[in-house]
Structure 1
C-alpha cells in the first residue's frame, strides 16, 4: 500500500503544473490514532515525499501548523543525504487533533545548506480527519 501511495504522489508531482525544478513536498498521515479532542498526541512524523530538493541541502527543517487555529504542532530536523522519502520515526511532533470537525494542516519544509542558510522552501497541506 505504501508503495502505491508513493507512486501516486510521484506521478502527481510529475504531471502537475508545478515547474519541474521547483522544490516540492507531499505527505501521508500514515497510521495516526484518531484524535478530535483538541489534545494532540506526540507521534512519529508522517511519510514525506520530497521532489527536487535544492542542491547543497544538508538539513531539512519540518514544521506543521493548523490553518484554523494558532496552535504550534512543532516538527523536527532531518539530515539530508539525497533521500526522496522521509519515513516515520525521523522526529516526533504533536498530531493533528481538531476539536470540532476538520481542520487543514500545513507542513512546511525548509532546506538549509552546510552553513544553515535557507536555500529552499516547500509546503503541502491536507485536511484531518480525511
Structure 2
C-alpha cells in the first residue's frame, strides 16, 4: 500500500509539474482600427511584467501572403499608435473585394518568455 501511494504521489507531482510548464499564456484583450499607417491598437489587461509586444498580421483569405508585423516596447499605456510598425509591415491590399485580417499579439517579458496572447480581426476595406 505504501509503495502504491508513493507512486501515486510521484505521478501527481509529475503531472503538476507538466501542467505548470505547459500552461497556456494569459489571454488579454486587443482591438484595432485601420489608419494611414500600421493600425492603431488598444490593448487591455496586458500581463504585468510585459516588456514588449510582438504583433503579426495574417490575411485569412490568403494566409500564404506574408504581411509581417513587428515588436514595440510596452509602455503600459494601453495603446500602440498608428504607424508604429510601418518599417516591418505590409498593409492590407486585397486584389478584389474585402478580406479579413487577423492580428496575433504576444506580450513578451524581459526574459523573452511569452506572458500573454490576444487576437483581433477586421475586414479591409470595411
Range of TM-score over shorter length = 0.7 to 0.9
TM-aligned CA deviation for residue 45 of structure 1: 1.6
TM-aligned CA deviation for residue 30 of structure 1: 1.5
Q: Which residue of 2 aligns with 1:127?
A: 123
Q: Which residue of 2 aligns with 1:26?
A: 31
Q: Which residue of 2 aligns with 1:58?
A: 51
TM-aligned CA deviation for residue 89 of structure 1: 2.6
CA distances 1:34-89 after superposition (whole Å, capped 9, x unpaired):
xxxxxxxxxx3210000100111001001100001021101111101211111123
Q: Aligned partners of 2:79, 2:38: CA distance in 1, in Å?
A: 12
Alpha carbons 2:57, 2:68 under 8 Å: kept? yes
TM-aligned CA deviation for residue 22 of structure 1: 4.5
Alpha carbons 1:59, 1:116 under 8 Å: kept? no
Q: Does 1:106 align with 2:102?
A: yes
Aligned length: 98
Q: Aligned partners of 2:49, 2:112: CA distance in 1, in Å?
A: 11
Tell me which of 111, 114, 124 is aligned to 1:115: 111
For normalisation by structure 1, the TM-score amounts to 0.71
Q: Of the two, which has the highest radius of gyration?
A: 2
What RMSD over aligned residues (CA atoms) do the two structures have, in Å? 1.3
Q: Which residue of 2 aligns with 1:79?
A: 73
Whose helix fraction is larger, Structure 1's or Structure 2's? Answer: 2
Structure 1 alignment gaps of length 5 or more: 1-20, 32-43
